[in-house]
Amino acid sequence: MVSRGLKKLYVFLIFLFLYAPIAVLIVFSFNDGRTSGTWSGFTLRWYVELFKDPAILKALYYTLLIAILASIISTIIGTFAAIGIHNMPGLSKKVVLNLNYIPVLNPDIVTAVSLMALYRFFKLDFGFTTMLLSHITFCIPYVILSILPKLKQMNKHLAEAAMDLGATPFYALRKVIIPEIMPGIVTGGLMAFTLSIDDFVISFFNTGNGVSNLSIEIFSMSRRGINPTINALSALMFVSLLVLLLIINKRTENH
């Protein structure tokens, strides 16, 4: 009993250490004063001012647009890539899987600088396109890793049976394989959206003039001094991502 109590206390202290700063940030997003050290009363004015700021609204627009496009495109590419990897022979499959793990294990800064160097090599203008391509590249490996377990669980003879009954390969893919792995596709898409909306390092190195997402905007605001609207913006981002992660977790448990 003592050992179990100590384990629970240890876990509680870990989560307290991780989430206490976020809890303080959320609480002070409702603070009427401009300083985070003194409580001056409850207010919602920072949330109101947040949505009156044209720079933040522009950053929000680019954040959502890039996240939606990146999640859709990376999910489509990742789905077909996962199916192709799943059907590869032994050695080739292991090699491609290990290559897919590299962007996941790499620090974000390595991926960001590598993509920046690639765009400079091809003389691309930095801006919306380079940021979108970077987010797609960043998200694809996670989509593949979300879909592969569903492909392993699927009966491999289903598609063969459909084609034996006269279905074309594309029809079997559309009507048999994709419905079977749909939970993994949805999970991969949600994960890609979450990663894209939360990204800073890759966005920062691969954006251009006039294109900024929320993470870059928060970084710029913090360098000019602590503004209470940062607390409100951070609180909204945290709650939104928390909801998405709970949805992902729920879908994973159900399937």
Q: Which tens digit of pLDDT belongs to each residue from 20-78?
A: 888 888 888 888 877 767 777 888 888 888 888 888 888 889 999 999 999 999 999 99
CA distance 241 to 104: 20
> How much is the pTM?
0.83
pLDDT of the residue at 225: 67
In the chain, which stretches have pLDDT less than 50? none
CA distance 248 to 190: 7
Both tokens of 89, joined, read: 């022979």
Residues in contact with 143: Cβ distance below 8 Å, sequence separation at least 6, in sequence order: 74, 75, 77, 78, 79, 82, 188, 189, 191, 192
What interhelical angle do 108-121 and 128-153 show, nearest 10? 130
**Phi, psi angles (nearest 5°) of residue 58:** -65, -40
Residues in contact with 186: Cβ distance below 8 Å, sequence separation at least 6, in sequence order: 251
pLDDT of the residue at 1: 57
pLDDT of the residue at 51: 84
From 213, 151, 157, select the one nearest 188 (Cα to Cα).
151
**DSSP-based three-state secondary structure for 67:** helix
pLDDT of the residue at 55: 84
